[in-house]
Amino acid sequence: MLNPLKVVIAGCSGRMGHALLECVFADAELVLHGALDRADNPQLGRDAGEHLGEVSGVTVTDNVDEALKNADVLIDFTRPEASMVYLAACQKHHVKMIIGTTGFSAEQKLVIEAASKNIATVFAPNMSVGVTLLINLVQSAAKVLNEGYDIEIIEAHHRHKIDAPSGTALRLGEAAASALGRDLQDCAVYGREGITGERDPSTIGFATVRGGDVVGDHTVLFAGIGERVELTHKASSRATFALGALRASKFLIGKNAGLFDMQDVLSLR
């Protein structure tokens, strides 16, 4: 790469923002071009690398147009409402976008899909290379364990996560459902309480745990008679998501439009 990729980070003062900044500073193929956060954030006007002991020369701002001017890519791990604002701005400035935000409505997902006709976009509920591989493994397992095995998805995250089940858990459910020729919307069970009756073998169940500082744990359980197959991924650091997002950013070089996910980034299809 002759010139470093000019990266803008949204939510730069948050937990994921800090992980992204650290990884950008460590990658010679990337340069921090802009750092965005909310208008009420106390870090506004300060150097984005200050907390890491870095002098980046980029100040944290809430001015989206200013941050995106002449940028190559925006990386967003914020919240759906903010992501929609950033998406519109990226279209205006012809800036590519990496979306790791979760909790989007069906309507918001359609907006992202429409926007990708104008700007190249990687949209994935989990940017981890390991989770991307897990999705493929779940599809393969579901095709083999297609009769006599009940599928349950268990996920755990920190106490601050606002959506449940996680976007990753839902993506794993979609992977299993599609391999079985089902629609997750028709077969998902998101909670059990009281006298529920026997388990419907065609369903895919979800269990959610929230507490402490758990970065992200996901297990897909195939429970049969006399045996269980468990596929598990545990994230011990947000760096795994940040590194995946940076890999996705480089994947978009030379692409002007299109909607991609991490399966595309890792050439798994």
**Mind telling me the catalytic residues?**
157, 161
Side by side, the strands of the sheet bearing 5-10 are 60-61, 30-36, 5-10, 73-76, 96-99, 120-123, 258-260
Q: What stretches of 37-87 adopt beta strand conformation (E)?
A: 60-61, 73-76
Residues whose CB falls within 8 Å of the CB of residue 157, separated by 6 or more in sequence, listed in order: 166, 209, 210, 214, 215, 216, 217
Helix (H) or strand (E) holding 144: helix 129-144
Helix or strand run (H / E) with residue 233: strand 228-235
For residue 6, what are its two tokens?
A: 């000019």
First-to-last alpha carbon distance for the chain, in angstroms, is: 25
Q: Which amino acid is at 118?
A: N
CA distances from 263 to 125, 126, 133, 160, 258 (A): 12, 11, 8, 28, 14
Q: Alpha-carbon torsion 137, 143, 145, 150, what sign?
A: positive
Tell me whether residue 33 is exposed, middle or buried, using C-beta atoms within 10 angstroms of its C-beta: 0 to 12, 13 to 18, 19 or more.
buried
